[in-house]
Amino acid sequence: MSATQKSAVSVWARRSAAHGHPFRIVAGNFMDTIGRYSFQEYLKMVEAFHGSQAPGLVLGGIMVDYALSEIPAGVLFDAICETSACLPDAIQLLTPCTTGNGWLKVIDLGLFALSLYDKYQGEGVRIFVDPEKIKEWVEISNWLYKLKPKKEQDKDRLLAQMEQAGRAILSKRLIGVKPQHLARVGKGAISNCPECGEPYPKRDGALCLACQGRSPYIVK
């Protein structure tokens, strides 16, 4: 066990003792770094970007780090995220893939999983939380399966378990992305909406989507 790992165990032990929890080391894969950042540096980035040290974004960083290690050097990749909660932010923090540049697609299947893949060939890797591997990690299980209300969860212990577990609670699968998800779709021709007068993609029809009834707003 490295000095960094021993330090992490010590911190986790102190936190557990302070909260009245018995301390037991479970086999894990300590996260000394996430991407090019130390674990603590990444926590600070998460808080600055997201507003808090969100556990989903912390676990997401570990997942992205794992996926990046499986992508061959020099391969230009895109990303698919299978949930809209927290995980997309981890991808945008640690990779060039964002929703804005179109390299990140959020396909909300309700699954805490992500994929990185060759943007031209579609070959890549999918990383997900393995239900068999997570069983021994009590706080992570409580959080993921919502076995405790959020206010009753021990966030310090949860983050410490994520740091200790690292990739040990994750699994990977090699994947190929379906051709329809590889296609680049531009906006096409732009016109002014006859109803509201704003520029919109003509492919959306005779009126912009807002004027077709899809606006989330009540106009005042």
Q: What are the extents of the domains in the chain?
A: 3-178, 189-220
* Domains 3-178 and 189-220 fall in the same CATH topology: no
Q: Write out the two tokens for 68.
A: 């990046």
Q: How far apart are CA 82 and CA 111, in angstroms?
A: 5
Q: Which fold has domain 189-220?
A: Wheat Germ Agglutinin (Isolectin 2); domain 1 (3.30.60)
Q: What is the pLDDT of residue 30?
A: 86
**Sign of the torsion angle spanned by Cα atoms 156, 160, 161, 166:** positive
Nearest in space to 91 (alpha carbons), one of 100, 101, 83, 81 = 81
Q: What is the pLDDT of residue 127?
A: 98
Q: What is the pLDDT of residue 212?
A: 97
First to last CA, the chain: 63
CA 68 to chain centroid: 13
Q: What is the pLDDT of residue 185?
A: 74
> The domain 3-178: what is its CATH number?
3.30.1330.130
Q: How far apart are CA 169 and CA 131, in angstroms?
A: 8
Q: What is the pLDDT of residue 5?
A: 43
Q: What is the H or E stretch that residue 77 is in?
A: strand 77-81
Residue with tokens 């209300």: 149
Q: How far is CA 33 from CA 16, 38, 65, 211, in A?
A: 23, 4, 9, 48
Tell me the pLDDT of the chain (220 aa) as tens digits. Answer: 445 444 444 444 444 444 444 434 455 788 889 999 999 999 999 999 989 999 999 999 999 999 999 999 999 999 999 999 999 999 999 999 999 999 999 999 999 999 999 999 999 999 999 999 999 999 999 999 999 998 898 999 999 999 999 999 999 999 999 998 998 777 789 999 999 999 999 999 999 999 999 999 998 8
Q: What is the pLDDT of residue 28?
A: 72
